[in-house]
Amino acid sequence: MQPGRVLLLQLSPTATPTGAEQTSDLTQTLVSLLPVTVDPWIARVITSVIVVMLAWGVSRLVVRLFGRRIAQFFRRPSLTRTALRGIRVTIYLFALLAIMGVWGLRITDISLSVAVFSAVVGVVVAPIVGSFISGVFLLADQPYEIGDMVELADRDQRGFVEDITLRHTKIFTLDNSFLVIPNGTMRDRDVINYSAEDPRTRLSLDVLVTYESDIDEARALIERSARQVDNVISGGPDIRVGAARYPAAPTAYINEYGDHGVLLTLRYWVTEPYKLLAARSKVQTNLFSMVEDADVEFAYPHSHLHFDETSGAMEVSMAEQRAREMGGPMGDGPAPQSSDAEGE
Protein backbone atom coordinates (compact mmCIF):
# COMPACT_ATOMS: atom_id res chain seq x y z
CA MET A 1 0.00 0.00 0.00
CA GLN A 2 1.35 3.38 -0.93
CA PRO A 3 1.64 6.09 1.75
CA GLY A 4 -0.28 8.64 -0.34
CA ARG A 5 -3.36 6.43 -0.48
CA VAL A 6 -3.33 5.93 3.30
CA LEU A 7 -3.27 9.69 3.81
CA LEU A 8 -6.17 10.11 1.44
CA LEU A 9 -8.28 7.64 3.38
CA GLN A 10 -7.57 9.41 6.66
CA LEU A 11 -8.74 12.77 5.27
CA SER A 12 -11.86 11.36 3.64
CA PRO A 13 -15.11 13.24 4.50
CA THR A 14 -16.75 10.03 5.60
CA ALA A 15 -14.18 9.72 8.37
CA THR A 16 -14.89 13.19 9.81
CA PRO A 17 -17.02 12.97 13.00
CA THR A 18 -20.15 15.08 13.36
CA GLY A 19 -20.79 17.60 16.16
CA ALA A 20 -22.73 15.11 18.24
CA GLU A 21 -19.99 12.53 17.78
CA GLN A 22 -17.38 15.09 18.83
CA THR A 23 -19.40 15.85 21.97
CA SER A 24 -19.78 12.17 22.63
CA ASP A 25 -16.04 11.73 22.21
CA LEU A 26 -15.52 14.58 24.72
CA THR A 27 -17.75 12.81 27.23
CA GLN A 28 -15.97 9.52 26.62
CA THR A 29 -12.60 11.22 27.04
CA LEU A 30 -13.77 12.71 30.34
CA VAL A 31 -14.94 9.27 31.49
CA SER A 32 -11.61 7.69 30.54
CA LEU A 33 -9.69 10.32 32.50
CA LEU A 34 -11.58 9.62 35.71
CA PRO A 35 -9.90 7.15 38.06
CA VAL A 36 -13.10 5.20 38.62
CA THR A 37 -15.84 3.93 36.38
CA VAL A 38 -18.58 6.55 36.04
CA ASP A 39 -22.03 6.21 34.59
CA PRO A 40 -22.43 8.09 31.26
CA TRP A 41 -25.34 10.08 32.70
CA ILE A 42 -23.14 11.37 35.53
CA ALA A 43 -20.41 12.13 33.02
CA ARG A 44 -22.84 14.28 31.03
CA VAL A 45 -23.81 16.17 34.17
CA ILE A 46 -20.16 16.80 34.98
CA THR A 47 -19.51 17.95 31.41
CA SER A 48 -22.48 20.34 31.55
CA VAL A 49 -21.20 21.83 34.82
CA ILE A 50 -17.76 22.30 33.31
CA VAL A 51 -19.26 24.04 30.26
CA VAL A 52 -21.24 26.40 32.50
CA MET A 53 -18.17 27.23 34.56
CA LEU A 54 -16.14 27.86 31.41
CA ALA A 55 -18.88 30.15 30.07
CA TRP A 56 -18.95 32.05 33.36
CA GLY A 57 -15.17 32.49 33.35
CA VAL A 58 -15.03 33.50 29.69
CA SER A 59 -17.81 36.06 30.15
CA ARG A 60 -15.99 37.67 33.07
CA LEU A 61 -12.73 37.68 31.13
CA VAL A 62 -14.29 39.25 28.05
CA VAL A 63 -16.03 41.94 30.12
CA ARG A 64 -12.80 42.73 31.92
CA LEU A 65 -10.82 42.95 28.67
CA PHE A 66 -13.29 44.89 26.55
CA GLY A 67 -15.44 46.68 29.16
CA ARG A 68 -13.36 49.86 29.17
CA ARG A 69 -13.26 50.03 25.37
CA ILE A 70 -17.01 49.54 25.12
CA ALA A 71 -17.59 52.28 27.71
CA GLN A 72 -15.37 54.67 25.76
CA PHE A 73 -17.18 53.82 22.53
CA PHE A 74 -20.76 54.35 23.76
CA ARG A 75 -20.04 57.00 26.45
CA ARG A 76 -23.43 56.27 28.04
CA PRO A 77 -23.69 53.98 31.08
CA SER A 78 -27.02 52.52 29.97
CA LEU A 79 -25.76 51.53 26.53
CA THR A 80 -22.53 50.20 28.01
CA ARG A 81 -24.39 47.96 30.45
CA THR A 82 -26.72 46.77 27.70
CA ALA A 83 -23.80 45.87 25.43
CA LEU A 84 -22.02 43.97 28.22
CA ARG A 85 -25.22 42.10 29.03
CA GLY A 86 -25.53 41.18 25.36
CA ILE A 87 -22.00 39.75 25.37
CA ARG A 88 -22.75 37.66 28.45
CA VAL A 89 -26.01 36.38 26.96
CA THR A 90 -24.24 35.41 23.72
CA ILE A 91 -21.58 33.44 25.58
CA TYR A 92 -24.17 31.65 27.70
CA LEU A 93 -26.19 30.90 24.57
CA PHE A 94 -23.20 29.12 23.03
CA ALA A 95 -22.76 27.27 26.30
CA LEU A 96 -26.41 26.19 26.14
CA LEU A 97 -25.94 24.86 22.63
CA ALA A 98 -22.88 22.94 23.79
CA ILE A 99 -24.82 21.43 26.69
CA MET A 100 -27.60 20.42 24.31
CA GLY A 101 -24.99 18.64 22.22
CA VAL A 102 -23.69 16.83 25.29
CA TRP A 103 -27.17 15.45 25.96
CA GLY A 104 -27.68 14.59 22.29
CA LEU A 105 -30.27 17.26 21.61
CA ARG A 106 -30.64 19.41 18.52
CA ILE A 107 -32.50 22.60 17.84
CA THR A 108 -34.66 20.81 15.30
CA ASP A 109 -35.67 18.31 17.97
CA ILE A 110 -37.19 21.08 20.12
CA SER A 111 -40.31 22.11 18.23
CA LEU A 112 -43.82 23.19 19.12
CA SER A 113 -47.00 23.06 17.16
CA VAL A 114 -48.23 26.24 15.50
CA ALA A 115 -51.24 26.53 17.83
CA VAL A 116 -49.22 26.15 21.02
CA PHE A 117 -46.55 28.52 19.80
CA SER A 118 -49.14 31.15 18.87
CA ALA A 119 -50.78 30.85 22.30
CA VAL A 120 -47.43 31.26 24.08
CA VAL A 121 -46.54 34.29 21.98
CA GLY A 122 -49.94 35.89 22.51
CA VAL A 123 -50.17 35.32 26.25
CA VAL A 124 -46.63 35.31 27.59
CA VAL A 125 -44.15 36.54 25.02
CA ALA A 126 -46.08 39.56 23.70
CA PRO A 127 -45.79 41.70 26.90
CA ILE A 128 -42.13 40.77 27.23
CA VAL A 129 -41.45 41.67 23.61
CA GLY A 130 -43.33 44.95 24.13
CA SER A 131 -41.15 45.80 27.13
CA PHE A 132 -38.01 45.00 25.13
CA ILE A 133 -39.12 47.22 22.26
CA SER A 134 -39.93 50.03 24.69
CA GLY A 135 -36.49 49.57 26.25
CA VAL A 136 -34.87 49.98 22.84
CA PHE A 137 -36.80 53.23 22.30
CA LEU A 138 -35.83 54.49 25.76
CA LEU A 139 -32.17 53.84 25.07
CA ALA A 140 -32.46 55.56 21.72
CA ASP A 141 -34.50 58.60 22.83
CA GLN A 142 -32.40 59.22 25.98
CA PRO A 143 -35.13 60.81 28.14
CA TYR A 144 -33.02 59.99 31.20
CA GLU A 145 -29.71 58.33 32.00
CA ILE A 146 -28.24 56.34 34.84
CA GLY A 147 -27.53 58.74 37.71
CA ASP A 148 -30.16 61.33 36.71
CA MET A 149 -32.66 62.54 39.28
CA VAL A 150 -36.19 62.10 37.98
CA GLU A 151 -39.71 62.54 39.30
CA LEU A 152 -42.75 60.45 38.43
CA ALA A 153 -45.48 63.04 38.05
CA ASP A 154 -48.34 60.59 38.57
CA ARG A 155 -46.89 59.23 41.83
CA ASP A 156 -45.15 62.41 43.10
CA GLN A 157 -41.97 60.46 43.84
CA ARG A 158 -38.39 61.50 43.19
CA GLY A 159 -35.31 59.39 42.92
CA PHE A 160 -32.18 58.51 40.99
CA VAL A 161 -32.11 56.21 37.97
CA GLU A 162 -30.15 53.19 39.17
CA ASP A 163 -30.30 50.96 36.09
CA ILE A 164 -31.87 50.81 32.62
CA THR A 165 -32.34 47.46 30.93
CA LEU A 166 -34.25 46.39 27.85
CA ARG A 167 -37.07 45.20 30.11
CA HIS A 168 -37.37 47.63 33.04
CA THR A 169 -36.07 50.80 34.66
CA LYS A 170 -34.92 50.76 38.27
CA ILE A 171 -35.26 53.97 40.32
CA PHE A 172 -33.73 54.46 43.76
CA THR A 173 -36.09 56.87 45.53
CA LEU A 174 -35.15 59.53 48.06
CA ASP A 175 -37.06 57.49 50.65
CA ASN A 176 -34.44 54.70 50.38
CA SER A 177 -36.62 52.31 48.38
CA PHE A 178 -36.46 50.82 44.89
CA LEU A 179 -39.01 51.19 42.12
CA VAL A 180 -38.80 48.66 39.28
CA ILE A 181 -41.03 49.89 36.44
CA PRO A 182 -41.48 48.01 33.13
CA ASN A 183 -40.38 50.00 30.14
CA GLY A 184 -43.78 49.47 28.53
CA THR A 185 -45.45 51.58 31.23
CA MET A 186 -42.46 53.87 31.72
CA ARG A 187 -42.90 55.33 28.23
CA ASP A 188 -46.52 56.28 29.02
CA ARG A 189 -45.60 58.23 32.20
CA ASP A 190 -44.76 61.89 32.59
CA VAL A 191 -41.15 61.82 33.82
CA ILE A 192 -39.54 65.04 35.05
CA ASN A 193 -35.75 64.99 34.71
CA TYR A 194 -33.97 67.36 37.09
CA SER A 195 -30.38 66.63 36.06
CA ALA A 196 -30.37 65.66 32.38
CA GLU A 197 -28.31 68.57 31.07
CA ASP A 198 -27.84 70.86 34.08
CA PRO A 199 -28.30 69.91 37.76
CA ARG A 200 -29.23 73.50 38.67
CA THR A 201 -32.91 73.90 39.45
CA ARG A 202 -34.89 77.12 39.65
CA LEU A 203 -37.31 77.56 42.54
CA SER A 204 -39.79 80.26 43.50
CA LEU A 205 -41.17 81.51 46.79
CA ASP A 206 -44.24 83.75 47.24
CA VAL A 207 -44.25 86.21 50.15
CA LEU A 208 -47.24 88.45 50.97
CA VAL A 209 -46.47 91.66 52.87
CA THR A 210 -48.77 94.46 53.98
CA TYR A 211 -49.20 97.71 52.11
CA GLU A 212 -47.75 99.57 55.12
CA SER A 213 -44.45 97.66 54.82
CA ASP A 214 -41.32 99.03 53.18
CA ILE A 215 -41.46 97.16 49.87
CA ASP A 216 -37.85 97.88 48.88
CA GLU A 217 -36.57 96.65 52.23
CA ALA A 218 -38.80 93.59 51.99
CA ARG A 219 -37.37 92.68 48.59
CA ALA A 220 -33.80 93.16 49.86
CA LEU A 221 -34.45 90.95 52.89
CA ILE A 222 -35.97 88.20 50.79
CA GLU A 223 -33.00 88.17 48.42
CA ARG A 224 -30.52 88.21 51.33
CA SER A 225 -32.28 85.30 53.03
CA ALA A 226 -31.71 83.17 49.92
CA ARG A 227 -28.05 84.17 49.45
CA GLN A 228 -27.20 82.92 52.94
CA VAL A 229 -28.14 79.31 52.04
CA ASP A 230 -25.17 77.16 51.02
CA ASN A 231 -26.61 75.35 47.98
CA VAL A 232 -28.26 78.49 46.56
CA ILE A 233 -26.39 80.28 43.77
CA SER A 234 -25.64 83.74 45.13
CA GLY A 235 -24.48 85.38 41.89
CA GLY A 236 -22.58 85.06 38.66
CA PRO A 237 -23.36 85.24 34.95
CA ASP A 238 -26.89 84.75 33.71
CA ILE A 239 -28.11 81.18 33.38
CA ARG A 240 -29.32 80.26 29.93
CA VAL A 241 -32.33 78.01 29.43
CA GLY A 242 -32.96 77.58 25.74
CA ALA A 243 -33.21 81.04 24.23
CA ALA A 244 -33.99 82.70 27.57
CA ARG A 245 -31.54 84.03 30.15
CA TYR A 246 -32.29 84.34 33.85
CA PRO A 247 -30.34 86.09 36.62
CA ALA A 248 -28.23 83.66 38.59
CA ALA A 249 -28.56 85.60 41.85
CA PRO A 250 -31.78 85.47 43.91
CA THR A 251 -34.19 88.12 42.70
CA ALA A 252 -37.45 89.26 44.31
CA TYR A 253 -40.16 90.67 42.04
CA ILE A 254 -43.43 92.46 42.74
CA ASN A 255 -45.91 89.91 41.48
CA GLU A 256 -49.23 91.66 42.12
CA TYR A 257 -51.16 93.97 44.42
CA GLY A 258 -53.61 91.66 46.12
CA ASP A 259 -56.61 92.19 48.35
CA HIS A 260 -54.68 91.67 51.57
CA GLY A 261 -51.20 92.88 50.63
CA VAL A 262 -48.40 93.05 48.07
CA LEU A 263 -47.37 89.67 46.66
CA LEU A 264 -43.58 89.37 46.21
CA THR A 265 -42.11 86.41 44.31
CA LEU A 266 -38.54 85.24 44.88
CA ARG A 267 -36.73 83.35 42.10
CA TYR A 268 -33.51 81.55 43.00
CA TRP A 269 -31.36 78.67 41.74
CA VAL A 270 -30.36 75.57 43.70
CA THR A 271 -27.30 73.50 42.76
CA GLU A 272 -28.42 70.17 44.28
CA PRO A 273 -31.79 68.95 42.98
CA TYR A 274 -32.22 66.43 45.79
CA LYS A 275 -32.19 69.21 48.44
CA LEU A 276 -34.98 71.37 47.07
CA LEU A 277 -37.22 71.18 50.12
CA ALA A 278 -34.32 71.72 52.52
CA ALA A 279 -33.17 74.80 50.60
CA ARG A 280 -36.67 76.23 50.54
CA SER A 281 -37.05 75.69 54.28
CA LYS A 282 -33.74 77.43 55.04
CA VAL A 283 -34.70 80.45 52.93
CA GLN A 284 -38.00 80.85 54.80
CA THR A 285 -36.28 80.38 58.18
CA ASN A 286 -33.77 83.11 57.40
CA LEU A 287 -36.50 85.44 56.19
CA PHE A 288 -38.62 84.92 59.29
CA SER A 289 -35.73 85.90 61.58
CA MET A 290 -34.81 88.97 59.50
CA VAL A 291 -38.30 90.44 59.41
CA GLU A 292 -38.49 90.82 63.21
CA ASP A 293 -36.29 93.94 63.31
CA ALA A 294 -37.35 95.41 59.95
CA ASP A 295 -40.16 97.62 58.78
CA VAL A 296 -41.78 94.66 57.08
CA GLU A 297 -44.89 92.78 58.14
CA PHE A 298 -46.34 89.62 56.71
CA ALA A 299 -49.91 90.02 55.52
CA TYR A 300 -52.69 87.57 56.21
CA PRO A 301 -56.32 87.43 55.08
CA HIS A 302 -58.53 89.67 57.24
CA SER A 303 -61.76 91.67 56.85
CA HIS A 304 -62.95 95.06 58.15
CA LEU A 305 -66.69 95.63 58.71
CA HIS A 306 -67.84 99.27 58.44
CA PHE A 307 -71.38 100.44 59.38
CA ASP A 308 -72.90 103.86 58.70
CA GLU A 309 -76.36 105.42 58.30
CA THR A 310 -76.79 103.76 54.92
CA SER A 311 -76.18 100.28 56.25
CA GLY A 312 -79.69 99.86 57.70
CA ALA A 313 -80.81 98.73 61.16
CA MET A 314 -81.22 95.34 62.76
CA GLU A 315 -83.65 94.76 65.66
CA VAL A 316 -82.23 92.75 68.52
CA SER A 317 -84.37 91.44 71.39
CA MET A 318 -83.02 90.15 74.67
CA ALA A 319 -86.40 89.04 76.08
CA GLU A 320 -85.82 85.36 75.39
CA GLN A 321 -82.40 85.38 77.00
CA ARG A 322 -83.69 87.16 80.12
CA ALA A 323 -86.60 84.71 80.40
CA ARG A 324 -84.22 81.78 80.41
CA GLU A 325 -82.12 83.40 83.11
CA MET A 326 -85.21 84.00 85.33
CA GLY A 327 -86.52 80.44 85.32
CA GLY A 328 -86.92 78.85 81.95
CA PRO A 329 -88.19 79.51 78.49
CA MET A 330 -90.65 82.26 77.69
CA GLY A 331 -94.21 81.58 78.94
CA ASP A 332 -93.15 79.23 81.74
CA GLY A 333 -92.60 80.10 85.41
CA PRO A 334 -93.60 83.22 87.35
CA ALA A 335 -93.46 86.59 85.70
CA PRO A 336 -90.66 88.87 86.78
CA GLN A 337 -91.69 91.32 89.52
CA SER A 338 -90.75 94.94 89.80
CA SER A 339 -88.44 96.29 92.44
CA ASP A 340 -91.38 98.05 94.24
CA ALA A 341 -93.25 94.78 94.67
CA GLU A 342 -90.19 93.16 96.13
CA GLY A 343 -89.88 95.98 98.70
CA GLU A 344 -93.45 95.55 99.94
Residues 111-150 as b/e (b if ≥16 CB within 10 A, e otherwise) read eeeeeeeeeeeeeeeeeeeebeebbeebbeeeebbbebbb
State pLDDT tens for residues 269-315. 998 888 888 999 999 999 999 988 888 889 887 777 777 767 666 66
Average of per-residue pLDDT across 235-261: 88
- pLDDT given at position 58: 86
Question: What pLDDT digit, counting tens, does each position of 21-50 carry?
Answer: 444 555 555 556 555 555 677 777 888 888
Domains of the chain: 17-107 (no CATH), 141-193 (2.30.30.60), 201-291 (3.30.70.100)
CB contact at 8 A, 301 and 208:
no
* Main-chain phi, psi angles of 171, to 5 degrees: -120, 130
Q: What is the pTM of this model?
A: 0.52
Q: Cβ(74)–Cβ(80) under 8 Å?
A: yes
CA dist., res. 213 & res. 288, Å (int): 15
pLDDT tens digits, residue range 144-191? 888 888 888 777 788 888 888 888 888 988 888 888 888 878 877 888
